[in-house]
Amino acid sequence: MKYLYIVVLNLFFSYAFSAVPVELNIKMGFGRVEVSIHSPQDQDKQEPLKPLIEKFEIEILTNEKLAPIVMGQENKEYTMIVGYSSDQEFKQTLKEWSNYLFAKASNDLPSESSLVGVLSDGKKRVVMGSHLIVDNGEHLEEVVVIAGSADIKGKVDRLVIIGGDVHLFSTAEITKELNTLGGNVQTDEGALVRGKSVNVGIPLSDESWTMVFNKLKATQIGEFLSSDMTLLVITILKLLSLMLFTYFGYYVAPNYQRKVQIYIQKHSVSCLLWGFFSLFLMVPIVMIMAVSIIGIPLMPLQFTIYFLFFIFGYIHSSLWVMTWIEGKSEFLKKQNLFLKIFLGLLLFEMIVWIPYLGKGFKWLVIFMGFGAASKVFYNQLLLPPSRKLAQIVS
């Protein structure tokens, strides 16, 4: 009964927009979604609905709230009567239909205690890649959302969002802290946020960009982005950007760059192992920083350092490959350092065309460079002051 107001609102908007009633049949399960129209049965009336039905299927597939049913190991079927009006925007229509479907399917959704990705300890919740609902009248001391989502309708003392999406309804109240790192907060009118609020933006990950581009594929923008000419332009811009980082790195920190270059040549296997180790350490470090008062403001610095490790590691791994080829090529022996790096970066763009092995080899070498860049940095950071002074003097 708590979702009855969603159904009422859906019917209200249907009449408000002079909507035509449409009966839909939705089948979900085993990672698939199928939406069919039961009425109207007239093909001429169904034709304008087809683009909206396709978007509704995508909306259901990407809805984290319905993910337990969509990815479940049994088929679920729902019938619902909704309103459609050509005067209403698709976005608003999809929102109303999704809310109505969520209300219909609420009884088939698992309880919070059985949700995969929701950790519970008294009045504390940690959401990792899942969805959490804090109902009106419920009071939690702390909610941490990591790459997941949450609907907050009740009271939360401390809310931390890391790359997740949180909806603060009009009845929501955050009493002490609201910390956001690369996440999104939708705040309805009437929601109260007291105490301190910290918002730190970070760039989208490769996986996030992939998800965005996949949604755009069916549009004209998607066709343009996936065209050969666009990919060529993006590759050229990527190479130019990496070369600018190369010049910048050798100009600002030439000693560091030379040490990375030497270290990756002499300790390639240990660099690869250190690269994997450093990457695995990133997640616990971020989680520790997210729940500490000092850690949140330092997160941009941490991400910047890791970003530079990847960039300079990518550059030096390409140089490592070209140095290996140099032993078999008289032409390369006569070229300067920056041309070798450029040719190595160009080779990395081409090597992914090799089936099965290309991408794997590229990422192994990139992790090797990442390990070399991070190892040299930490070695330098942990040097005794006397040795640091000796290096400066020399």
- Listed by start position, the domains of the chain span 4-108, 112-200, 206-393
Q: Distance (Å, rounded) from C-alpha 231 to C-alpha 224?
A: 9
Can you give the pLDDT at residue 375? 84
Query: Rounded to whole angstroms, how far apart are CA atoms 171 and 256?
Result: 54
Would you say 224 and 204 are in contact if contact means Cβ atoms under 8 Å apart?
A: no
* Selected residue with higher pLDDT from 205 and 315: 315
Query: What is the tens place of the pLDDT at every residue in 213-270?
Result: 565 555 666 566 566 777 788 888 888 988 898 888 888 888 888 888 888 888 888 8
Report the pLDDT value the prediction gives residue 14, as an integer from 0 to 100.
Answer: 46
Q: Is-above-0.75 flag for pTM?
A: no
334 pLDDT above the threshold of 80: no
What is the C-alpha separation between 143 and 314, in angstroms, rounded? 37
Confidence of residue 357 (pLDDT cuts 50, 70, 90): confident
Query: pLDDT higher for 71 or 29?
Result: 29
Nearest residue to 365 via CA among 264, 288, 283, 291: 264
Can you give the pLDDT at residue 294? Answer: 65
Best CA proximity match to 341, nearest among 246, 236, 244, 267:
246
Contacts of 42-46 spanning 24+ positions with Cβ under 8 A = 45/20
> What pLDDT score does 7 carry?
47
- At 367 the pLDDT is 82
The string of pLDDT tens digits covering residues 143-171 is 888 767 888 999 999 888 876 788 899 99
Higher-confidence residue of 203 and 182: namely 182
Cα–Cα distance measured from residue 339 to residue 68, given in angstroms and rounded to the nearest whole number: 52
Chain centroid to CA 272: 25
Chain-centroid distance, C-alpha 296: 19
Q: Tell me the residue length of the chain.
A: 394
Q: What is the pLDDT, as a whole number, of residue 165?
A: 82
Torsion of CA 14, 15, 21, 24, to 10 degrees: 20
Decide which of 90 and 266 is more confident: 266
Q: Which tokens belong to 334?
A: 């006569």
At residue 51, the pLDDT reads 82
Residue 198 has pLDDT above 70, yes or no: no
Average pLDDT of the chain is 75
Whether 204 shows a pLDDT value over 50: the answer reads: no
Residue 5 has pLDDT above 50, yes or no: no
Q: What is the pLDDT of residue 156?
A: 93
pLDDT for res 293: 62
Name the nearest CA neighbour of 165 among 178, 153, 147.
147
Backbone φ and ψ of 108, nearest 5°: -90, -5
Burial pattern 219-232, b for ≥16 Cβ within 10 A else e, equals eeeeeeeeeeeeee
**129/147 Cα distance (integer angstroms):** 5
What is the chain's Cα-based Rg? 27
In this prediction, residue 6 carries a pLDDT of 44
pLDDT computed for residue 199 by the predictor: 63
**How high is the pLDDT of residue 154?**
92
